[in-house]
């Protein structure tokens, strides 16, 4: 017994020494948001609530003797609670190219352009089965079992970066709701100058196969997006479009839980920075027709029309005060719903 304790003690000491000597490099960042939201939904009484959202991220990386950097990350958050570690293991090679393994995502979504829009935590509280998309990457799905390759900078030409991805399912047949069986995506970002402006163009193409009880759906997901931003001094202007098909879960019944959506969206926005003040104005217009899994196409449109704006003030290093506003009009199957409305937010964020 004494020998076993000595051996265990030596093993623990050795592992402890090794873990210190060979510890990966860790960097930390985080943010904390506190504010008050004032919600005015079309179909209900006005409400207001205190918003507290926090996040703490840890990035881990180390470089091998051969020059390959191995990295990953995880985040603690209180917005939805718990631990968010849906991040890939990333291998960055000495030539600047990279490969992500597991939770790699879809390469099309990697290259969607960030169109300026309002800051703040405001959001209309209404719920609806309207399926009009609001994001440029709405058709870029992926499973956790996937890989994504990223080119080095200036790939084939100055200012160009490209990515390609593939993911596959676990092989388990989906029962009540449709599940993604596989996906692929390609994307590219090109940065150039035009006079005094820096222009960034992002585009992507993706496709995904879905199954339900082992049978493929009649119409699977996939689509394309294209976006452009131009930065001239303190002014940023952006616009993006996307078109494609996605699969939505609208309820617990089979008919609702496997809704296939043929949608499109346009986003536009402007950001202007003057001193410590940042002004943002954005607009989103999405529309869609949804159908059941047997391919019975919808004949009426869902739509989402949103305008938003915000004013942010840098109070101190890492501290920002924000006043934000959003207004949304929603149509479900061609009929105006009471699920839209407007919302205000006033609050502050602290980040490090």
Question: Residue 204: helix, strand or coil by DSSP?
Answer: strand
Residues 6+ apart with CB under 8 A from 302: 130, 131, 132, 263, 287, 288, 289, 290, 330, 331, 332, 333
Which CATH number fits the domain 34-351, given the four candidates 3.40.50.300, 1.10.1130.10, 2.60.40.740, 2.40.160.10?
A: 2.40.160.10
* Domain parsing of the chain, residue ranges: 34-351
How much is the pTM?
Answer: 0.83
* Closest-CA residue to 253 (of 176, 174, 330): 176
Rounded to 5°, angle at Cα 62 from 58 and 63 = 155
What per-residue confidence (pLDDT) applies to 297?
60
pLDDT tens digits along 211-237? 766 566 666 789 999 999 999 999 999
Q: What tokens appear for 286 in the block?
A: 């999405």
Query: Would you state the structure tokens that stand for residue 347, as one six-digit string?
Result: 């609050």
Would you say the C-alpha torsion 328, 122, 221, 162 has a positive or negative sign?
A: positive
Q: How far is CA 105 from CA 26, 44, 134, 186, 206, in A?
A: 23, 38, 19, 11, 11
CA 337/CA 321 separation, integer angstroms: 33
Q: How confident is the model at residue 331 (pLDDT cuts 50, 70, 90)?
A: confident
Mean pLDDT calculated for residue range 176-205:
91
Instruction: Dig out the tokens for 58 from the structure.
Output: 């840890």
Of the candidates 34, 76, 32, the one whose C-alpha atom is nearest the C-alpha of residue 51 is: 34
Quickly state the pLDDT bin for 108 (edges 50, 70, 90): very high
**pLDDT of the residue at 334:** 74
Residue 273 backbone zone (phi > 0: left; psi -120 to 50: alpha; other: beta): beta
Beta bridge partners of 248: 259
**C-beta of residue 5 within 8 angstroms of C-beta of residue 302:** no
Per-position b or e across 112-149, b if 16+ CB within 10 A of its CB: bbebbbbbbbbbbebebebbbbebbbbbbbbbebbbbb
Of 90 and 76, more confident? 90
CB 324, CB 308: distance < 8 Å: yes
- Using CA atoms, how far apart are residues 226 and 57, in angstroms rounded to an integer? 30
Which is more confidently placed, 251 or 308? Answer: 308
Check whether 288 has a pLDDT greater than 50: yes
62-66, 75-79, 136-140, 252-256: least confidently modelled range: 252-256
As beta bridge partners, residue 155 has none
């Amino acid at each position: 017994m004494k020998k076993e304790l000595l051996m265990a003690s030596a093993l623990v000491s050795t592992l402890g020494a090794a873990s210190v000597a060979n510890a990966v490099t860790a960097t930390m960042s985080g943010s904390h948001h506190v504010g008050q939201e004032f919600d005015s939904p079309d179909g209900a009484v006005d409400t207001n609530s205190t918003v507290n959202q926090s996040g703490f991220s840890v990035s881990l990386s180390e470089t091998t003797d051969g020059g390959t950097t191995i990295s990953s990350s995880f985040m603690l958050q209180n917005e939805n609670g718990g631990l968010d570690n849906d991040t890939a293991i990333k291998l960055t090679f000495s030539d600047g190219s990279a490969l992500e393994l597991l939770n790699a995502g879809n390469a099309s979504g990697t290259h969607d352009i960030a169109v300026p829009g309002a800051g703040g935590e405001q959001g209309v509280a209404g719920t609806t089965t309207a399926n009009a998309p609001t994001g440029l990457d709405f058709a870029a799905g992926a499973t956790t079992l996937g890989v994504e390759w990223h080119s080095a900078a200036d790939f084939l030409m100055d200012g160009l970066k490209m990515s390609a991805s593939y993911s596959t399912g676990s092989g388990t047949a989906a029962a009540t709701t449709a599940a993604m069986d596989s996906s692929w995506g390609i994307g590219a970002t090109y940065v150039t100058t035009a006079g005094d402006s820096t222009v960034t163009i992002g585009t992507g193409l993706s496709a995904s196969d879905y199954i339900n009880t082992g049978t493929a759906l009649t119409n699977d997901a996939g689509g394309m997006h294209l976006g452009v931003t131009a930065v001239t001094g303190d002014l940023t202007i952006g616009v993006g479009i996307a078109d494609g098909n996605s699969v939505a879960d609208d309820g617990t019944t089979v008919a609702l839980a496997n809704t296939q959506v043929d949608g499109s969206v346009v986003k536009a926005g402007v950001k202007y920075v003057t001193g410590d003040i940042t002004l943002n104005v954005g607009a989103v217009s999405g529309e869609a027709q949804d159908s059941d899994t047997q391919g019975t196409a919808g004949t009426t449109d869902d739509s989402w029309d949103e305008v938003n704006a915000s004013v942010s003030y840098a109070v101190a290093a890492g501290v920002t005060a924000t006043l934000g506003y959003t207004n949304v009009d929603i149509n479900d199957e061609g009929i105006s719903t009471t699920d839209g409305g407007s919302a205000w937010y006033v609050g502050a964020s602290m980040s490090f």
